Chains A and B, each alone.
Chain A
Amino acid sequence: MHKEIIFKNVDYYYQQNTPYEHKALKNINLHIPMGSFTSIVGKTGSGKSTLVQMLNALIKPTHGSLIIDEFKITSETTNKNLNPLRKKVGLIFQFPEKQLFADSIKEDVAFGPRNFGVEESKIKQIVENSLKLVQLPLDIMEKSPFEISGGQMRRVAIAGVLATNPEILVLDEPTVGLDPKGQKFIMNLINKLHVEKNMTIILVSHQMDIVAEYSDNVIVMHDGKMIKSDKSNVIFNDEKLLSRYNLELPSSVKFYNKLVENNIPLGEGVPLNVESLSNQILKSFSKGSKRNG
């Protein structure tokens, strides 16, 4: 078993051999550790969404190959026998609530496990567990998914993917369009799955505060190319790289830089959230007071 997801010389062309041919991914070589929380950042059109759709073989490499555990996916791979891969990799699209379709919330959440051949006797328990995970009350099960609020619909859509018990969870902008409270709820849920169930998380997001706060690794994409893949503290320490690709710095790093500009010495290494920044400030104060004594 591989401990990593591996992209090897992967190209992806939309509408190949037509006048509209568009190279969405160009020679991607990438290792994503299993069990990590990895975020993918980059401007609109940089190839982020194309890259993550490959992870459960919704699209296949035009050239090169992708290895996830015992699965190797190339341009030759047929859709036969892909069910085990799709069970392993749960993919949550942008605005997943748009894909709700069943008459009741219960049926919607049950669709995935049923599709993967889970015995009918176990379905009820799975649906209940999944709704509990996203903290929806069980008495809404019989309701239509279209009767509930937008934030709740998104939770139902996520429950539907969790019901298939994936090892790798891929999320494309899961917090867009939600109010701050809804965003926090979704991110805490994802982080909990990562920490408590050791789920591998692959997150596409343009919200740098969220990326900095939660990720171990960050991948920077630009114009279909993988520019850099590294630990998140390394990426966010590289202001040049981020400004070159028009990426925002997290609020904590921006504030850290302003303090340093104002000659307040802070320790090495940029803070990735408000807590670390606060600790660095306190540390520099206690050092200062010792010095002046």
Chain B
Amino acid sequence: MSSNNIIEVKNLNFKYENSKENTINDVSFNIKRGEWVSVIGHNGSGKSTLIKLLDGLLPIDSGSITINDNLVKENNLDQIRKSIGLVFQNPDNQFVGATVEDDIAFGLENNQFSRNDMNVIIDKVLKVVDMSNYRTHEPSKLSGGQKQRIALAGVLALSPKILILDEATSMIDPQGRNEILDIINNFRTDNNMTVISITHDVEEIKLSSRVLLLKSGMLIEDTNPYELFNSVENLEKYSLEMPFSAQLSRHLINSGLDIPNSYMDEEELIKCIKKLYLKM
């Protein structure tokens, strides 16, 4: 029987050979199936190392990782990697095919899908990312946002249980970013996929139900967006921008308006302003 947790990390430690200190320092956490978790922290806090350990790209020094009920170790890395899809910041580094369909087919061929099945899957994922008209286009000639959609389609084609986004939306314009995040969120809900996103982006963090804060390789907070945005200190400490509604609340509170000091999203803040206005 499969457990409720898709990922279980216990007392994980890792040190790079030339480094004096541990890059990952006694980290433990669980992630439930279908959760969307943001991982944040400064450059060098260990975020990318953690991802490489989850995918078995780096060997664990001590502690353990379980992915989809499989212990991460040398002899079952194939199994582990089938469960995980990775999307990076710069899709250019991820393309192998001469056309969009070849590129998506590449991952499927590696997993021994039949030609027929491949066609069905390619149709389906291109539809998911709204790029059906680009099937025979050359990936390098697409715009940044379109490239990121194709990279995502290639990963979704393999139906990963876990999707890891490594600053995957930081290079696209805001509109393109919101569209891609919507696509991912819909796919996640339909397929009970788990999403882990490494990000600085407030919009991306808002989508998650949980936020893990890393500092010097240690997991120092396991919180949620509301709690995170509530503390200006937190935001400044982790080099995040405050959401617009929180910036506005702060200005209004400083000017003496009777607004609660806790984080509100835009809708809540509008309601609150309206209530105050009608009371006058």
Using A264-B273, A282-B252, A292-B280 as known contacts, say yes or no to A246 and B239 having CB atoms under 8 A apart: no
Tell me if B144 counts as interface (CB < 8 A to partner A).
yes
Closest CB in chain A relative to B215 CB, distance in Å:
15
Tell me if A54 counts as interface (CB < 8 A to partner B).
no
Q: In which size bucket is the chain A interface? A: 20 to 34
Residues of A within 8 A of B247 (CB): 274
Whether B257 contacts A285 by the Cβ 8 Å rule is yes
The interface stretch among A28-36, A188-196, A251-259 is A251-259
| Complexed CA–CA distance, A277 and B145 (Å) | 31
Residues of B within 8 A of A262 (CB): 270, 274
Q: Which of A206-235 contact B (CB under 8 A)?
A: 206-208
Residues of A within 8 A of B270 (CB): 255, 258-259, 262
Contact of A255 among B240, B248, B276 (CB under 8 A): B248
Tell me if B266 counts as interface (CB < 8 A to partner A).
yes
Q: Mark A259-270, 1 if CB is under 8 A from B, else 0.
A: 100111000000
Q: Mark B260-280, 1 if CB is under 8 A from A, else 0.
A: 000000100010011011001
The interface stretch among A10-18, A19-27, A173-181 is A173-181
| Complexed CA–CA distance, A246 and B245 (Å) | 23
Whether B239 contacts A179 by the Cβ 8 Å rule is yes
Tell me if A289 counts as interface (CB < 8 A to partner B).
yes
Q: Mark A269-290, 1 if CB is under 8 A from B, else 0.
A: 0000011011001101100110
Closest CB in chain A relative to B98 CB, distance in Å:
19
Residues of B within 8 A of A277 (CB): 248, 251
The interface stretch among B5-13, B59-67, B169-177 is B169-177
| Complexed CA–CA distance, A180 and B244 (Å) | 13
Whether B143 contacts A180 by the Cβ 8 Å rule is no
Using A179-B200, A264-B277, A289-B280 as known contacts, say yes or no to A206 and B174 having CB atoms under 8 A apart: yes
Using A278-B252, A282-B252 as known contacts, say yes or no to A264 and B280 having CB atoms under 8 A apart: no
Contact of B273 among A44, A251, A259, A292 (CB under 8 A): A259
Whether A180 contacts B240 by the Cβ 8 Å rule is yes
Q: Mark B236-249, 1 if CB is under 8 A from A, else 0.
A: 00011100110110
Q: In which size bucket is the chain B interface? A: 20 to 34
Residues of A within 8 A of B174 (CB): 206-208, 248
Whether B200 contacts A264 by the Cβ 8 Å rule is no
Residues of B within 8 A of A284 (CB): 277
Tell me if A149 counts as interface (CB < 8 A to partner B).
yes
Closest CB in chain B relative to A142 CB, distance in Å:
23
Whether A180 contacts B144 by the Cβ 8 Å rule is no
Tell me if B43 counts as interface (CB < 8 A to partner A).
yes
Whether B143 contacts A44 by the Cβ 8 Å rule is yes
| Complexed CA–CA distance, A207 and B175 (Å) | 10
Closest CB in chain B relative to A129 CB, distance in Å:
28
Task: Name the residue of chain A whose CB is nearest to the CB of B201.
Answer: A180
Closest CB in chain A relative to B182 CB, distance in Å:
15
Residues of A within 8 A of B173 (CB): 44, 206
Residues of B within 8 A of A246 (CB): 175
Q: Mark A123-156, 1 if CB is under 8 A from B, else 0.
A: 0000000000000000000000000010000000
Tell me if B93 counts as interface (CB < 8 A to partner A).
no
Whether A274 contacts B251 by the Cβ 8 Å rule is yes
Whether A180 contacts B239 by the Cβ 8 Å rule is yes
Residues of B within 8 A of A264 (CB): 273-274, 277
Residues of B within 8 A of A45 (CB): 143
What would 29 A/B residue contacts be, using CB atoms closer than 8 Å?
Answer: A44-B143, A44-B145, A45-B143, A177-B170, A177-B171, A179-B43, A180-B200, A181-B239, A184-B241, A208-B174, A246-B175, A251-B244, A255-B248, A255-B270, A258-B270, A259-B273, A264-B273, A264-B274, A264-B277, A274-B251, A275-B251, A278-B248, A278-B251, A278-B252, A281-B252, A285-B277, A288-B277, A288-B280, A289-B280
Closest 6 pairs (CB-CB, A-B): A278-B251, A180-B241, A251-B244, A181-B239, A206-B173, A288-B280
Instruction: Please report B residues at the A interface, Cβ cutoff 8 Å.
Output: 43, 89, 143-145, 170-171, 173-175, 200, 239-241, 244-245, 247-248, 251-252, 255, 257, 266, 270, 273-274, 276-277, 280
Instruction: Please report A residues at the B interface, Cβ cutoff 8 Å.
Output: 44-45, 149, 176-177, 179-181, 184, 206-208, 246, 248, 251-252, 255, 258-259, 262-264, 274-275, 277-278, 281-282, 284-285, 288-289, 292
